[in-house]
Amino acid sequence: MAKSLINRGSVANDGTGDNLRAGADKVNLNFTEIYTAIGDGSTLSANIKVKDDTSTVATINAKGDTLGILGGTGITSTVSGSNVTLAVDGTIVTAASTTTLTNKDLTSGTNTFPTLTLNDGSATDAVSLGETINVLGTTNEITTAVTGNTVTVGLPNDVTIGNNLIVTGDLSVLGTQTRVDSTTIDVTNSFTFEGLTSDNNETVLTVADPTADRTVTIPDATGTIVLKDTTDTLTNKTISGSDNTLTNISAANITGAFDSTTSGNKLRFDFANTGALPTAATYEGMFAYDVGGNNPYVADAGGWTKIITENASVGDLSNVNISGVADGNAMIWSSAQGRFNAGTVTSTGFAIAMAVAL
């Protein structure tokens, strides 16, 4: 039972506490419980009973016997003041201890073990302790060897590289016969060719940084590639005028003369006016057309000569002067001037003047 306390009231003789009989009853009850706990109910015992895990009971005299609390295998006991401390030594495995187990059989039926997860980048596989992990090579790609606790992974002498090989460093491929069998090869910047002689001179095949997808096709033919800045003689080439623009072509850039035997050729020789015509002596024999004056010309060493057309005036002739011409005038030859001048024909010698004019 719980300990019974005698109610003494709030102050002396206030009439709220237990009476003598009730107080004596509580005293008797408390003593009865004590005598029963450490005696036979009427007499106190000086002995203490101790029981172990096997239900063995030992009686110890509380007036003089010593109760020993002893450690066993892996357990030590210490007494300090009124405290008894039990501790385990290094032979006991605890949840927080770091211990190397020897001669132990661990079964999966009564224990839980973590698993290893193998991952190849696209698929995973869980491997439990006790299972065998096989490290296998591939013909002409990877070789493996196991010596003791060491697995060695290497490359064979003749290597065939499959798909999705990513090399972050430098990849050196040695050998006289090397084949790259692929539909598309991605090269970030350039190829470097050493040539037959191993020296400091190499040929670099590179590309300008593309701004869109480009395709350069190598023809199905044997020959030498012509570069934009090299001097080469082209043979068996047809240049389409509609698909190409030829600029800065001068006589110094042309070997031989233009020789065309086909019909339908077109060349323009128009100039804004006679002042725009080039030097005649430089282009002797050249045809030109004066757009401003609507007259054709031919170049001569002495200058540009106007070509007379069906729409030309008689005054366009160099030996005809029609300035001041009037109705009834005729062209009269002047031997002093070496030309025909416009003038009035006298009646005398009219027949001769007409004959000369005709």
**Six-digit token pair at 346?**
């006298």
Amino acid 275: pLDDT: 94
More confident residue, 276 or 98: 276
66: left (phi over 0), alpha (psi -120 to 50) or beta: beta
Which pTM does this prediction carry?
0.34
Domains annotated for the chain, with CATH where assigned, are 1-60 (no CATH), 266-312 (3.40.1620), 314-358 (no CATH)
Over the range 92-127, which residues count as b (16 or more CB within 10 Å of their CB) and which as e? eeeeeeeeeeeeeeeeeeeeeeeeeeeeeeeeeeee
Whole-number CA gyration radius for the chain:
64
Higher pLDDT, 168 or 285: 285
Nearest of 133, 16, 186 to residue 7 by alpha carbon: 16
Interval 229-266: pLDDT, tens: 999 988 888 888 788 888 877 766 776 777 778 888 88
29: pLDDT strictly greater than 90: no
Mean pLDDT for the chain?
Answer: 83
Strand partners, 281: none
Judged against a pLDDT cut of 90, whether residue 90 lies above it is answered with no
Beta bridge partners of 343: 330
The per-residue pLDDT for 162 is 67
Q: Which of 67-76, 107-116, 269-278 has the lowest mean pLDDT?
A: 107-116
% residues pLDDT > 70 (the chain): 93
Q: How confident is the model at residue 287 (pLDDT cuts 50, 70, 90)?
A: very high
pLDDT value of residue 253: 72
Spatial CA neighbour of 62 closest among 77, 54, 78, 50 = 50
Give pLDDT tens digits for 102-115. Answer: 888 877 677 777 78
